[in-house]
Structure 1
Amino acid sequence: MTRTLGVEEEFLLLDPDTGENAPLAEKVFAGLPGELHARHRREFRHSMVEMVTDVCTTLDELRDQLLTARRETAAAARATGADLVAIGATPLAEPFREPADDARFRRIVGHYGPIAQDPAVCGCHVHVGVPSPELAVEVCTRLRGRLPVLQALAANSPFFDGAETGYASWRSIQLLRWPTMGAWPHFRSAAEYDATVRTMIASGEMMDESMMFWYSRPSANFPTVEIRVADVCLTADDTVLIAALARGMVDTAAREAQEGLPVPGIPDVLLHSAHWNAAHDGVDGTLLDPVAGRARPAWELIGETVDWVTPSLREHGDLDVVTAGLDRVRREGTGATRQRRLLGGSGSVAALLGDLAAATVAG
């Protein structure tokens, strides 16, 4: 069975002179060519642009759509005087923090207060086709201990307020102020999931089902599992790697569910620690293995994860792309590592943002 893929990427619009977030999203959307106009989404902030792919079956198709969207949107941004930058967190400052002109966005600000006025952050969400809600819930439960590896590989937000944060993914840390942000709970059925979501909405913690921000979830709009743990990736090739691994993970978890294999029990506190570890270190140190309950060299755990999904990668024709992508990350580092390397050469966060804008549209 070939599982479909779709990707949502969020980007920042930055002033090329000051490096600050530029509230120009509506002008950028107006400048998109017709064939791309249907693939943009209004985001929470005027300084954010979200572009989505169509439903894809191959990584070549996905890469072509990602690159086209990035390049055409970057050209539209330049026409407004802004740079399109694939970076997970606001690097310098965001003076204008009002939500985009949308009634629901204004309700969110009214309900959640200062949390909704934190500086903008940008993620990469991968949708993988799963035909039934019951299977989607079981897949999410089986992926609980696997997603910190994906989070570490996608880390791309080491800077905030013009300075080094000490985290590979500051976006991951900033987002923890939101209710329901974090690892998917251990649900045993779709009925248990549905009942829990209704109760959380009744409490006021969530305004509606779309405010459920767990790192994986059954999509409310499509027959997919949505993996939401990744920062927006610096390059399209980085995104393709994350999407291929996400598809492999979802497909492997679905097969294990259909075979009735046992689901490991993972204490929530260890899962939280594993995600914190991934956000802090990326792949440049250790990662906590929440199943074994011990820290391990990051690349050892990555290699074990790849072994787990290799049959699925091979079946989908993705294995060579994943192998080459991981080799590249071992040589060059994650987006966070590459940003830090650029900072060492430029001396300031503002000075490296032009290089990040170039990397955003690179082949």
Structure 2
Amino acid sequence: MVTVGVEEEYLLLDSATGLPTAECPRVQAVASALPSVRDGEVTPELLQAQIEIATPVCKTLEQVATELRRLRAAVRAAAAAVGCRVAATGAAPARGGTCTPVSEGERYARMRDRERRLVDEQLITGMHVHVGVPDRAAAVAVVTRLRPWLPVLAAMGANSPLWDGADTGYASWRTLLFGRWPVSGPPPAFTSEADYEDRVHALLRARLITDRGQLYWHARPSERYPTVEVRVLDVQPGPADAVLYAGLVRALVLRALADGREGVPLPQVSGELLAANTWWAARHGLSGSLCDPRDGRQRPAATVVAALVERTEHELARLGDLSVVEAGVDRLLLLGTPAQRQLQAYRAGGVPGVLDLITQDW
């Protein structure tokens, strides 16, 4: 069974104002002391108003769901003990007038000095899916084969329509904010592991990035684990939403590995088309059409989502995940993306209504 793991980032919000609050050190300390939490499962992120959880290596989607429920409950309980709330949203709906301090450590301090306002505005949170692969060369090849489908995942998982208390007009404002970093967005089409390393070494040698942790592509070979890491998704409202993408991403990676073994040519999609399609997905989510990766033409969003499921159907069935993913897609198309749900709450109750939605009990 091919392994899968999930990392999720959350925002910490003041219980009274709903604004980001720098309580990560205290929340992390309380959560890490709980008997249900193991070492290293709850960690800081760049800003002290963010916190991250990481599941153990999982073999089944049922296990992913169980671990996410456990860790989300721990962080929620710790935040309540400290006096703040945990928000599962891709971007802070409101920010206030002061900058959130960075977390402790030389690396984060260096980033604050170097990237300036990008760091100040990094009040965004994502979901990262790790899928086990045989080796580094396979990971690089998989990243290239995943490229055309990453905007579809971004559209499906959009969960950040608000910023500074207003509707941005985008389903995933996080995608736009994160895309401002020097090395971010859709990954290049790598021809080999050597090509990947040459490109990364060139960036490091030129001092355009400070370390490999700043390779913020939407998919990349992990530097810590023998996995491909897909990081295009906004953090999801609940475990059921997250499990859908853990299943889809794992199946996409398996399909890519199979294509490599069968000698299927690498997909030919230009960088400009992929970048524009990513913008389109962030702008519209599933509210209209999407560019179909199969031929580069616009089609109804539901049709393109169905094509993604069809592409991975064999792998999903082999893993026993098909019914879970199909149910998740049906729910998504019925209820709309998390961004659409946030906008419904915003129109009904303004920012307070959104805060109630994104901090509700998972």
TM-score by length of 1: 0.96
Alignment match of 2:266 (pick from 255, 263, 267): 263
Q: 1:89 touches 1:160 (CA, 8 Å); kept in 2? A: yes
Deviations 1:205-247, CA, capped at 9 Å, x for gaps = 2111111011111000100000000000011110000110000
Partner of 2:25: 26
Q: Tell me, in whole angstroms, the C-alpha distance in 1 between the residues paired with 2:93 and 2:150.
A: 25
Hey, what does 1:234 align to over in structure 2?
Answer: 237
From the superposition, tell whether residues 310 and 291 of structure 1 become closer, same or farther in structure 2 (CA, over 3 Å). closer
Aligned to 1:249: 252
Equivalent residue for 1:180, pick from 175, 179, 183: 183
Gaps spanning 5+ residues in structure 2: where?
A: none
- Look up the match of 1:295: 298
Give me the whole-angstrom Cα distance separating, in 2, the residues matched to 1:224 and 1:11: 23
1:216, 1:356 → 2: CA distance? 26
Contact 1:19–1:353 (Cα < 8 Å) also in 2: yes
Offset, 1:37: 4.7
1:345 equivalenced with 2:345 (yes/no): no
SS of 1:296's partner is strand
Match of 1:130 among 110, 130, 133: 133
Give 1:119 shift.
4.1
Which one-letter code corresponds to 1:8 in the other structure? E
Q: How does 1:19-98 map to 2 (within 5 A)?
A: 19-32=18-31, 33-38=34-39, 39-94=41-96, 95-98=98-101
Following the alignment from structure 2 to structure 1, what is the Cα–Cα distance between the partners of residues 330 and 61?
A: 17
> Partners in 2 of 1:73 and 1:269 — Cα distance?
40
Please state how far the C-alpha of 1:114 moved relative to its aligned partner: 2.0
Matched residue, 1:143: 146
| Counterparts in 2 of 1:290 and 1:313: CA distance versus 1, 3 Å | closer
Give the letter for the 1:172 counterpart: T
The letter of the residue matching 1:23 is: A
2:335 is matched with which residue? Answer: 332
Q: Distance in 2 between matches of 1:331 and 1:297?
A: 15
* Maintained 8 Å contact 1:287/1:301: yes
2:114 is matched with which residue?
111
Offset of residue 250 of structure 1 = 0.5
What's 2:102 paired with? 99
SS in 1 for 2:286: coil
- 1:53-85, CA deviations, whole angstroms, 9 ceiling, x for partnerless residues? 000000111001101111121111011111111
For residue 156 of structure 1, report the CA deviation from its aligned partner: 0.3
* 1:260 partner letter: G
Unaligned 5+ segments in structure 1 are none
Report what 2:215 is aligned to: 212
Deviations, residues 265-305 of structure 1 (Å, cap 9, x unaligned): 11111000110111011111111235523211111111111
Tell me the percent identity.
38
The alignment partner of 1:36 has SS state of coil
Residue 336 (structure 1) shift: 0.5
Equivalent position SS for 2:80? helix
Whether the aligned pair in 1 keeps the contact of 2:85 and 2:359 (CA below 8 Å) is yes
SS state of the match for residue 302, structure 2?
helix
Q: Distance in 2 between matches of 1:7 and 1:343?
A: 29
- Quote the offset at 1:97 in angstroms: 2.0
Report the number of matched residues.
358
Q: What's the CA shift for 1:327?
A: 0.7
**Does the residue aligned with 2:341 lie in a helix, a strand or coil?**
helix
More deviation, 276-285/104-113: 104-113
Letter in 2 for 1:331: L
Question: Is the contact made by 1:271 and 1:290 (CA closer than 8 Å) also made in structure 2?
Answer: no
Q: Is this contact kept in 1: 2:36–2:74, CA < 8 A?
A: no
C-alpha contact (below 8 Å) 2:27/2:78 kept by paired residues: yes
Q: Distance in 1 between matches of 2:123 and 2:53?
A: 16
> Per-residue displacement from partner, 1:171-211 (whole Å, max 9, x unpaired)?
00011110111111011100010011000111222111111
Distance in 1 separating the partners of 2:237 and 2:171: 13
| 1:3–1:128 CA contact under 8 A, matched in 2 | yes
**CA RMSD, 1 decimal:** 1.2
Aligned partner of residue 101 in structure 1, secondary structure = coil
Kept after mapping to 2: 8 A contact 1:41/1:49: yes
Of 329-338 and 121-130, more deviation after overlay is shown by 329-338
Q: Which deviates more, 308-317 or 349-358?
A: 349-358
Q: Does 1:14 align with 2:13?
A: yes
Q: Which moved more, 1:149-158 or 1:89-98?
A: 89-98
